[in-house]
């Protein structure tokens, strides 16, 4: 009972000091910049014609795609985002890379939470001036919400990766568009669609891979909450010892 109280107090102090600065860092630290993306690999996610949130909407599904291309210098991934035919109310819409792919039945709920290999969580919201402190998958948090129709945006995200094996790899995952209230509107899977790299004259630089390989082991959706809880308990234990 007493121990519980102490833990609560420490936890409250910890959380309030974090929110006072509005600076959140993942339980595993800030997101790391990936510098060894195989140049030119292109991943494409195209929205389906089938509606998810409102199957009887005569306007049909949101149209569009995300094309994600590894940067020529291997640092980060360039995103070309294009959406149209968005709902006429309920915005501004947000979109994220989600942890799991969309299953064949098209259920966007099955994509689970945002891609978050550093276990940062959704709240407080991402501060886009410090993108390393945001969830890797929080594309609209880092790069802007959907506030127009059509909506077109291009940007480079330094934290997403096309290196299969890293936790921040998105090539086997999905993205989801949400209403402002987080209800899921539609979703699509990323898949490798080709490469802009002409040939072996520009080989992927694999020497830098050691620096960013740690998050890989923390990706599984199932292990995420366990790892997070273990870490939290560790932090609390440390706080008590100090």
Ligand X SMILES: *[C@@H]1O[C@H](CO)[C@@H](O)[C@H](O)[C@H]1NC(C)=O
Closer to ligand X by Cβ: residue 79 or 93: 93
DSSP string of 12-72, one letter each residue: HHHHHHHHHHT---BTTBSPPPP----TTEEEEEE--SS-SS-TT-TT---EEEEEEEE-T
**CA pair distance 48, 185, nearest whole angstrom:** 12
Residue written as tokens 């993108």? Answer: 131
At closest approach, how far in Å is the CB of 195 from ligand X? Answer: 11
Distances, alpha carbon 12 to alpha carbons 19, 77, 121, 239, in Å: 10, 37, 17, 12
At closest approach, how far in Å is the CB of 4 from ligand X? Answer: 26
Closer to ligand X by Cβ: residue 54 or 148: 54
Closer to ligand X by Cβ: residue 154 or 223: 223
Closer to ligand X by Cβ: residue 4 or 201: 201
Which residues, other chains included, contact 48 with Cβ-Cβ below 8 Å and sequence gap of 6+?
61, 106, 186, 188
At closest approach, how far in Å is the CB of 79 from ligand X? Answer: 18
Closer to ligand X by Cβ: residue 82 or 132: 132
Q: Contact positions toward ligand X, by CB under 6 A?
A: 19, 22-23, 25, 29-30, 35, 89-90, 100-101, 107, 109, 124, 127, 129-130, 132-133, 164-165, 167, 169, 172, 179, 181, 183, 198-199, 201, 205, 207-208, 216, 219-220
Using CB atoms, what's the residue nearest to ligand X? 90
């Amino acid at each position: 009972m007493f121990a519980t109280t102490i833990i609560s107090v420490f936890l409250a102090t910890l959380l309030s000091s974090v929110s006072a600065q509005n600076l959140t860092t993942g339980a595993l630290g800030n997101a790391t910049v990936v510098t060894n993306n195989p140049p030119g690999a292109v991943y494409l996610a195209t929205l389906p014609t089938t509606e998810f949130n409102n199957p009887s909407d005569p306007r049909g599904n949101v149209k569009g795609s995300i094309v994600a291309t590894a940067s020529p210098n291997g640092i980060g991934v360039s995103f070309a985002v294009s959406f149209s035919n968005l709902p006429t109310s309920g915005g501004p819409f947000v979109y994220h890379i989600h942890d799991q792919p969309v299953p064949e039945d098209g259920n966007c709920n099955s994509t689970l939470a945002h891609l978050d290999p550093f276990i940062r969580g959704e709240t407080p919201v991402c501060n886009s001036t410090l993108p390393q402190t945001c969830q890797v998958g929080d594309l609209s948090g880092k790069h802007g919400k959907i506030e127009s129709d059509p909506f077109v945006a291009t940007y480079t995200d330094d934290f997403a990766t096309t290196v299969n094996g890293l936790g921040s790899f998105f090539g086997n995952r999905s993205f989801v568009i949400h209403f402002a209230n987080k209800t899921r509107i539609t979703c699509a899977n990323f898949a490798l669609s080709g490469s802009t790299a002409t040939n072996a004259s520009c080989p992927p630089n694999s020497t830098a891979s050691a620096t960013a390989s740690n998050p890989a082991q923390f990706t599984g959706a199932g292990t995420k909450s366990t790892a997070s809880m273990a870490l939290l308990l560790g932090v609390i234990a440390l706080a008590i010892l100090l």
